[in-house]
Amino acid sequence: TENAMNAASIAQVHRAKRRTGDDVVIKILRRGITRTFDQDVSDYLSLLGMYESATGTPVKWMMEWAMEELKKEIDFRWEADLHEDCARFINSKSELRGRLTVPILHSELCTKRILVMEYIDGCKITKAPEFFEDWNYARDLPAMHEALETW
């Protein structure tokens, strides 16, 4: 937690400087989160099994699938792949290229527990109108919507 830029339930984000001089952010999965996640999923699926037994309504199959999808959230290699897909998408659209930025991923340093990318001073996409002086709703909002809807 010391000097974390941001922290959430599964990870912390720290700013750092590489030996190359590049400013980066490092997202680090919290220690023990995989074990905690697996135990929580097991407990939840047990409860669903009891619900199925009591009601005769099959719901566990759906939650087993959902939990497998959620498990991807604690593997930063999956997040790195999505990050690169997003960057390719933004760069393939002339109306988005240069207007939306996806930080450069330092993929050679990424692992299941660590994600490293270029540091960019910016904001959450929902805060863009407050952050950018040249924000223009008529110009920028449709481009953002297309990016989010298409990707």
Query: What are 20-31's pLDDT values in tens digits?
Result: 999 999 999 999
pLDDT tier, 143 (very low <50, low <70, confident <90, very high otherwise) = confident
Distance CA 120, CA 146 (A): 23
Instruction: Quote the pTM value.
Output: 0.74
Q: What is the dihedral of CA 48, 50, 55, 59, to 10 degrees?
A: 20
Query: What are 24-55's pLDDT values in tens digits?
Result: 999 999 998 888 888 888 898 899 889 999 99
Amino acid in the structure at residue 136: N
DSSP string, 27-47: EEEPTTHHHHHHHHHHHHHHH
Segment 10-17 mean pLDDT: 93
Cβ contacts of 135 within 8 Å, gap of 6 or more: 128, 129
